[in-house]
Amino acid sequence: EADIYQTPRYLVIGTGKKITLECSQTMGHDKMYWYQQDPGMELHLIHYSYGVNSTEKGDLSSESTVSRIRTEHFPLTLESARPSHTSQYLCASSRNYGYTFGSGTRLTVV
Amino acid sequence: DQQVKQNSPSLSVQEGRISILNCDYTNSMFDYFLWYKKYPAEGPTFLISISSIKDKNEDGRFTVFLNKSAKHLSLHIVPSQPGDSAVYFCAASGTRDDKIIFGKGTRLHILP
C-alpha cells in the first residue's frame, strides 16, 4: 500500500493551461522532492523541501513552482503549460536516507 | 556533466542466470549509494544500498559491490527472474540525508 500519493496519474492538457500536480505522503517525512524524468534519461531534481514553508529549486531549471504549507502536502504548479513540459513528474519523500517515491504523473501538453 | 553514469542502456539475461548492472561515479564526495528499480508507469522503488565504508552488501538475490578506488559499483542479481525485468537506476548522495543524484538507468530484460 502506497504511503505517498500522486494525482493525477496521467494528464493531457492544452498549451497555456494552468495545472497543479498533487503529492501527499502519510509518513510524516519532513523532506520532499520533485523529480522530472524523460524516457532513457536520468531523474532530474527540480524542487525540494526540508519542511513546512521551506522550498528550494533543484539542479534542473524548471518553470514550475511548489509550495509546502503542510508537512504532508507538496503540490507542483505550472502556470502556463507548454509542449516542452511533457514529461513524467515523480514526487518523493524522505526521513533520513533513501527516498520513497510516488507512482508519478505522466504529463502530456498538446 | 553526469556525476552518476550507467553506460549500458539495456541488458538481456537468460532466466536463472546472473544479471550484472554496472555504474560509475565521478564525485569522490559521494558516500552513500543506492539502487532503485522502476516498472513502466510507476515510481522507482528502493532495492538495496551501500555505504562507502563497505565494499559489499547483500540482500537475498541482490548484492551490491563497491570499488571506491575505481569509483565503480555493480548490482548482481542471482538467479534472475522474469519479475526482475525493469529499469534499474544507480544513485548516490554525499551524506545519508542529502539529495540523491541518479544515473540514466539500465533496462534489464530477463529472457525465458
For residue range B12-25, what is the model confidence (pLDDT) as tens digits? 999 999 999 999 99
Confidence of residue B99 (pLDDT cuts 50, 70, 90): confident
Which of A6, A35, A96 shows the shortest C-beta gap to B97?
A96
Model confidence pLDDT, tens digit, residues A58-89: 888 788 999 999 999 999 999 999 999 999 99
In chain A, which stretches have pLDDT less than 70?
1-2
CA distance A94 to A75: 16
Is residue B32 pLDDT above 80, yes or no? yes
pLDDT at B86: 96
Q: Which of A97, A100, A103, A105 to mutate to test the interface with B (most CBs of B within 10 A)?
A: A97
Window 43-62 of B: residues touching A by CB (8 A cutoff) are: 43-46, 49
CA distance A36 to A18: 18
Which of B9, B34, B41 shows the shortest C-beta gap to A98?
B34
Q: Which of A32, A38, A43, A59 to mutate to test the interface with B (most CBs of B within 10 A)?
A: A43
Interchain contact, B97 vs A41, CB within 8 Å:
no
Classify the phi-psi angles of B71: left when phi > 0, otherwise alpha if psi is within -120 to 50, otherwise beta.
Answer: left
Contacts of A59 (CB under 8 A, 6+ apart): A44, A45
